[in-house]
């Protein structure tokens, strides 16, 4: 089992409390908790994490602060946090059914990612978590841009299929139900390779 995942199971409540200090809306807490895990899970693929719980809590704060900054930069209007918002978050956090469902989804997603080959997992995380361009990934992996695109499309299709097999729909993880199939992606590669970094 991933050390980051094991640490996450131990300190998920603390992560949620940290995020809720800055982003008290329940939907934000759920989304940013998952983002925190994914960023740390991606970091674990690049280096050995000696203190995963400390990393998770540090990342949780940074993710929450980044979300605040992003919202301030993308909208001119925002409503001050309601005085009862923390109570709402606390009630939802202690809802056993919701808590269990979140853990199940997270475990399912971790297993799905873990089933990919090491190289395919790196490509997926570099693209979806690190936000790297296709050309950057190609250089890092010493492969062509078209190979990056094809392998990423194949990985996304496999992840989508595994999500459905597990009982979830891709949109529950922020994905699309109509993920491109590898053959479709391959057919489009020649058309998009020249502009691969402008997506």
Alpha-carbon distances of 96 from 41, 91, 93, 105, rounded to whole Å: 25, 10, 8, 14
DSSP 131-181: ---HHHHHHHHTS-HHHHHHHHHHHHHHHHHHHHHHT--GGGGT--TTPPP
Q: For residues 69 and 129, what is the distance between their CA atoms, to the nearest angstrom?
A: 18
Mean predicted lDDT score pLDDT of the chain:
77
Domain 117-199 has CATH 3.30.70: no
- Angle between the N-to-C axes of helices 118-128 and 134-141, in degrees from 0 to 180, rounded to the nearest 10: 150
* pLDDT recorded at residue 174: 60
Q: For residues 143 and 185, what is the distance between their CA atoms, to the nearest angstrom?
A: 17
Phi, psi of 67 (to 5 degrees): -65, -40
DSSP SS3 for 111: helix
> Per-residue confidence at 132, pLDDT binned at 50, 70, 90?
very high
Residues 28-45, mean pLDDT to the nearest whole number: 86
DSSP SS3 for 84: coil
DSSP SS3 for 184: helix
* pLDDT recorded at residue 101: 74
Question: Tens digit of pLDDT for each residue in 146-162?
Answer: 999 999 999 999 988 88
Q: Which residue has the higher pLDDT, 9 or 2?
A: 9
Q: For residues 12 and 14, what is the distance between their CA atoms, to the nearest angstrom?
A: 5
Question: Tens digit of pLDDT for each residue in 96-112?
Answer: 677 667 767 776 777 78
Domain with CATH 1.10.10 in the chain: 117-199
- For 46-51, the CB contacts below 8 A with 24+ separation are 49/3, 49/4
> Per-residue confidence at 123, pLDDT binned at 50, 70, 90?
very high
Q: Which residue has the higher pLDDT, 36 or 196?
A: 36
């Amino acid at each position: 089992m991933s050390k980051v995942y094991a640490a996450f199971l131990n300190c998920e409540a603390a992560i949620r409390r940290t995020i809720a200090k800055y982003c008290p809306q329940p939907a934000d807490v759920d989304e940013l908790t998952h983002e925190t895990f994914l960023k740390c899970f991606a970091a674990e693929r690049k280096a050995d994490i000696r203190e995963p719980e400390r990393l998770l809590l540090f990342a949780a704060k940074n993710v929450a602060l980044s979300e605040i900054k992003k919202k301030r930069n993308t909208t001119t209007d925002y409503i001050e946090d309601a005085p009862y918002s923390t109570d709402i978050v606390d009630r939802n956090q202690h809802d056993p059914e919701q808590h269990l469902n979140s853990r199940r989804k997270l475990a399912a997603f971790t297993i799905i990612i873990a089933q990919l080959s090491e190289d395919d997992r790196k490509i997926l995380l570099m693209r979806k978590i690190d936000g790297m361009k296709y050309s950057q990934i190609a250089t890092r992996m010493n492969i062509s841009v078209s190979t990056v695109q094809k392998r990423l499309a194949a990985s996304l299709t496999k992840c989508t299929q595994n999500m459905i097999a597990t009982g979830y729909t891709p949109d529950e993880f922020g994905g699309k139900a109509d993920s491109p199939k590898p053959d479709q992606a391959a057919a489009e590669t020649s058309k998009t390779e020249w502009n691969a970094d402008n997506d």
